[in-house]
Amino acid sequence: MIKANYKKYILDFKRPSGTSRGVLSKKETWFLKLEENGKTGYGECGILRGLSIDDRPDYKEKIQWLCKNINKDKKELLAELKEFPSIQFGLEMALQSLKAKNPFELFPSDFTKGKKKIPINGLIWMGEKSFMKKQIDQKLEEGFSCIKLKIGAIEFDKELELLQFIRKEYPADQIELRVDANGAFSPKEALVKLKALSKFELHSIEQPIKQGQFEEMKKLCASTPLPIALDEELIGVFEKENKRKLLEKISPQYIILKPSLVGGFQGTQEWIDLAEELKIGWWITSALESNIGLNAIAQWTAILNTTMPQGLGTGSLYTNNIKSPSEVVGETLTYQPQNNWDTTELKF
């Protein structure tokens, strides 16, 4: 019999991090701990308040329900948790961890042996132009050749100036630039802004307009001068048939997958299968989880054998993260198996 327990944990940002939805200084997460026959498994339910579809008053009750019913069939549990994708992910992770020889080596591969690295993008947070420029300089110094900028929080003209500065210093064959608007543009202005942005030879733009505006997004994807990647648009789409309909209707150039937001490994795999069938590109991004969740996402991503830079460089954002063998070296996420986990915060 499996025994399950949970713990709420608040992650503190080293410095407040700006998005178009406001400034983040803390991040709530929930750890799951499973025990059976002397073995332990860990999972993380990484909720993003204000964004996750499962940001609901009964979130804690659902985790309590899961702990009480942990010995039910996995399929049954995942079906019951359908509207709680971050808890689905925490459950999948914890069960995989419990099953593994080492609770932190969920998906053994050359990555977990320290022989393979995952290419990642460098993330630039929103803020004043000088602050963003400082971050860009630092990322370039660290060796990143793919940079993702959050846009939509400062004046658009200033953002264009910033992109012009980057392109003047670093041409497109030297630095790949991705931008994430987090739905900051209105449908009326979006195409004009995309045309202005396209001058800087960008790789893609994430979610230019808010999710749920299907007709407008479809038109944008059909006429855009630069590739569009759907992100928030995928949140809350549970059934495989509805996922197919959304992708066929909008026809984006890319989709971005955060397992905590789209139903864990199983939900993410469904999106990947559909995207590949419809010739849509994709990459994986963490949703600001602690190193527990990030570790699981990275190990799973490693066995997908994708070569695109992924969005997995968020492990150093917090002052009180769980110490792990994962490390960003240059523009890659690496796993140093000789380094230990610090499980102090996982004793509950």
Which residue among the candidates 148, 210, 243, 258 is catalytic per the annotation?
258
Q: In what order do the strands lie in the sheet with 22-36?
A: 3-19, 22-36, 39-45
Residues 6+ apart with CB under 8 A from 264: 78, 85, 88, 89, 91, 92, 93
Which residue among the candidates 27, 33, 148, 150 is catalytic per the annotation?
150
CA distance 253 to 186: 20
Residues 6+ apart with CB under 8 A from 318: 11, 12, 13, 14, 27, 290
| Buried residues in 193-210 as b, exposed as e (16+ CB within 10 A) | bbeebeebebbbbbbbbb
CA dihedral 12, 322, 92, 241 (to 10 degrees): 40
68 is catalytic: no
Three-class SS of residue 265? helix
82 is catalytic: no
**Residues classed as catalytic:** 150, 258
